[in-house]
Structure 1
Amino acid sequence: MKLSMVSTGVLLGSALLLSACSAPNRVQQHIASNAVIEQIGEGEYKGRYRNLYRPAKGYPTYPVTCAADCYPAHPAVSCKTPGQDCQYTGVQRAPELKTGYSLQWLGHASFLVQTPDGQQLLFDPVFGQFDWPVSWAQHFAGIIKRPYMPKLTAQQLANIDAVLYSHLHYDHFSHASIAQIGNKATYYLPMGMADYMPRGGYNIIEQAWYSHSQQGGLNIHLMPAHHFNSRKLFNDDNRALWGGWLLEHSGKTLFFAGDTGYSAHFSDIKQRYGEIDICLLPIASYHHEENGDGYRYVHTTPEDALVAAAELGCKVMIPWGYGNASWQMGDISSHSPLLRLLHMQQQLQSTVPLLILNEGDSVSL
């Protein structure tokens, strides 16, 4: 049987595509001599990662907790309905830091960052709904609709130098987004997460807590977070590490905390690295009354984030996790965390400068 030139080309193109998709990834591990790797030492879960600070029983105590009237309306937050479908309309003022970093908040936990030496980085890029198969399940269930979804142009994606993921949860780690970004960028992951990357010739660097890599003039450090990690339905809890990322260039720092609860690791980071210039801190997914403090154990409340920012010595704090681009997981409305943050800033008389963004906003600092 003879094949036409067209069908031959289609077959050849398909073969090349399949070959690229099945190409092995290139994985390196960077573990500093003073790295911290916290794992279970014995028993059924031996070798699985765990948080640095764990109470002997129950949940920890927190420095401060909003007890009543936590979500008052704020004149700088304009909403269609109370706390829902809002825009921050206040002054977006930041101190004159002259760090050389610029960034765009793409929504939820996703940020596009330009470093002082001109590199383009992405934190936790998830461009659509939850990654498959959760996106499939939520579509048929008709729940957790994401009204705004961040997008970058094909040219922007082609110019990405590095992608930094904090953990495996479906709202932070997306195979679909990785396919859009492609394999030209270097992917920085906590230990064990390379096993969950799709095949396709990706360049991957895994790091332990307090280990670093260098890309151009940029130092990329993995920081501890107080969270957990899983991807599959059964039996892969905490087989991969989780964390936040600290960028450092010519002494100027930017910290992306990833999903995290409040713990002493914030003070530890300050002790090791000094005051942080720019802090990207989560303020959502803490509110779930029927689960007691379970959500708060692994997610910071707005007041937790304000305390953490002070302990980190943040020269400016940019909150994330709320907004019209969020999935509202564990929160009572799209902007309830922001309303609580602004309320608790006054209650605590916090002196940490806040820079409040709406999804899609860009800023140079």
Structure 2
Amino acid sequence: MVWKNPWYNPALSHHSPDGFINTASVTHQPGDVKRWRNERKAAGLPRPPADGYERFIEQWWQKVEITGDSDGLWWLGHASILLRLQGQYLLTDPVFSRRASPVRFAGPQRRTPSALAIADIPQLDVILISHNHYDHLDTWTLRALLRRFPDVQFFVPLGVGALIRRLGARHVTELDWWQSMIFQGMVYTAVPAQHWSMRTLWDRNRSLWCGWVVESAEGRFWFAGDTGYTPELLTIPQRLGALDAVALPVGAYAPRWFMSIHHMDPQSAVALWQQLGSPLAFPVHWGVFELADESLDQPVKELQLSLSEAAIDNDNFRILKIGQYLPLA
């Protein structure tokens, strides 16, 4: 039987009868994946950080310490963030496993330890999922979180809900781009991203990908998820209002000829941040998994250089250690 998109709306440019698409005409050419893999293998990429993995961990990792009760966040590495807003705790794309993979014995492995144990999370009200790739949706982690917090509310893009419910989740809300829901006094809106989805050989782009804007009494926080740079991202503040804090992806960008469609590099993240009016920002999607050709420390080096070259007159773009706290109040 041919699969048809049950959410298909011909009036929406990111919908297609057989799944979802990016609104910009961006695609890889036949043979690009094989070319990248061959070049990667021939060059022996990715290489270790300049001073080795142990030194990288010493410099860029610390254990999470949860104290106080004011609004703030802890970057847990890669795309995982623990947010505290209005006394509530939220997790984005939580991955606590050793590997980002469908199996436990192969696939990209963590190069930096988990900065927080699930047992040490004081409470959990909401989990936000941006899309279904294994480095963003980890079933082992979600099952463990559901055992500890069985009543947690999930917000996911269209097509991801069935998987989350199979894991035992009781409260799952699926949203399309620009759809919103109010939950416990805060507004959650799924917003566009330029990416793709896939967990098996048979489900490419059958579920949607997105970023999330969370609006509390104190302001709007944007978790961009996985996305390449596109001017469409600027419609987010245009439609929802100015963004007060943003988490922008800066990793898995090399080689740019192949990765730029779906992953921002540090330079495009800085350019987007400036176009947004330079709100409080920090980089994500680096420091844990080696998913592309750059070394683990290359994103932060290029980000520091890009910020320096841009001659920014404020320090609103904060480069955090894994596990570091960033106050939002």
Q: How far apart, in 1, do the equivalents of 2:76 and 2:167 lie?
A: 26
Amino acid at match of 1:154: A
Structure 1 partner of 2:305: 343
Structure 2 partner of 1:206: 174
Q: After TM superposition, where is structure 1 displaced by more than 3 Å over at least 4 residues in a row?
A: 55-58, 78-84
Amino acid at match of 1:136: F
Structure 1 partner of 2:318: 355
Q: How far apart, in 1, do the equivalents of 2:209 and 2:198 lie?
A: 10
Using the TM superposition, give the Cα deviation of residue 161 of structure 1 relative to its aligned residue in structure 2, in angstroms. 0.5
Q: Report the CA distance shift for 1:153/1:130 in structure 2 as closer, same or farther (over 3 A).
A: closer
Look up the SS of the partner of 1:293 in the other structure: helix
Using the TM superposition, give the Cα deviation of residue 315 of structure 1 relative to its aligned residue in structure 2, in angstroms. 1.4
Amino acid at match of 2:275: E
Structure 2 partner of 1:281: 248
- Greater gyration radius: 1
Q: Deviations over 1:308-340 (max 9, x none)?
A: 1122234111111222xx112114221110000
Structure 1 partner of 2:97: 128
The structure 2 residue matched to 1:248, chosen from 212, 215, 221, is 215
Q: Deviations over 1:222-249 (max 9, x none)?
A: 11000000111x1201100001110101
- Cα contact 1:284–1:331 (8 A) shared by 2: no
Q: Give the unaligned 5+ runs of structure 2.
A: 1-6, 30-48, 62-69
Using the TM superposition, give the Cα deviation of residue 185 of structure 1 relative to its aligned residue in structure 2, in angstroms. 0.1
Q: Deviations over 1:78-137 (max 9, x none)?
A: 973499716269xxxxxxxxxx6310111111000011x211100000011235524322
Amino acid at match of 1:210: W
Scaled by the length of structure 1, what TM-score is found?
Answer: 0.72
Structure 1 partner of 2:197: 229
- Cα contact 1:184–1:202 (8 A) shared by 2: yes
Q: Give the unaligned 5+ runs of structure 1.
A: 1-29, 41-45, 59-77, 90-99
Q: Is the aligned partner of 1:328 residue 2:328?
A: no
Counterparts of 1:185-196 in structure 2, within 5 Å, are 185-196=152-163
Q: Deviations over 1:171-202 (max 9, x none)?
A: 11011111111131011100010122234242
Q: Report the CA distance shift for 1:200/1:243 in structure 2 as closer, same or farther (over 3 A).
A: same
Q: How far apart, in 2, do the equivalents of 1:302 and 1:308 lie?
A: 10
Q: Deviations over 1:20-47 (max 9, x none)?
A: xxxxxxxxxx9xxxx956112xxxxx33
Structure 2 partner of 1:146: 111
Q: How far apart, in 1, do the equivalents of 2:203 and 2:161 lie?
A: 14
Counterparts of 1:3-18 in structure 2, within 5 Å, are none
- Cα contact 1:83–1:334 (8 A) shared by 2: no
Amino acid at match of 2:247: L
Q: How far apart, in 1, do the equivalents of 2:27 and 2:195 lie?
A: 17
Q: Is the aligned partner of 1:174 residue 2:142?
A: no
Q: How far apart, in 2, do the equivalents of 1:56 and 1:286 lie?
A: 15
Q: Report the CA distance shift for 1:213/1:310 in structure 2 as closer, same or farther (over 3 A).
A: same
Cα RMSD between the aligned structures?
2.9
Amino acid at match of 2:248: L
- Identical-residue share of aligned pairs (%): 28
Q: Deviations over 1:39-89 (max 9, x none)?
A: 12xxxxx3310112225997xxxxxxxxxxxxxxxxxxx973499716269
Q: Report the CA distance shift for 1:266/1:313 in structure 2 as closer, same or farther (over 3 A).
A: farther
Structure 2 partner of 1:47: 18
- Cα contact 1:274–1:313 (8 A) shared by 2: no
Structure 1 partner of 2:263: 299
The structure 1 residue matched to 2:88, chosen from 119, 124, 131, is 119
Using the TM superposition, give the Cα deviation of residue 347 of structure 1 relative to its aligned residue in structure 2, in angstroms. 2.0
Q: How far apart, in 1, do the equivalents of 2:21 and 2:278 lie?
A: 26
Q: How far apart, in 1, do the equivalents of 2:306 and 2:211 lie?
A: 24
- Cα contact 1:213–1:219 (8 A) shared by 2: yes
Amino acid at match of 1:190: P
Q: How far apart, in 1, do the equivalents of 2:191 and 2:155 lie?
A: 12
Structure 1 partner of 2:124: 160
The structure 2 residue matched to 1:106, chosen from 76, 90, 110, is 76
Q: How far apart, in 1, do the equivalents of 2:249 and 2:197 lie?
A: 17
- Cα contact 1:50–1:238 (8 A) shared by 2: yes
Q: How many residues align?
A: 289
Q: Is the aligned partner of 1:263 residue 2:230?
A: yes
- Cα contact 1:166–1:259 (8 A) shared by 2: yes
Q: Is the aligned partner of 1:216 residue 2:184?
A: yes
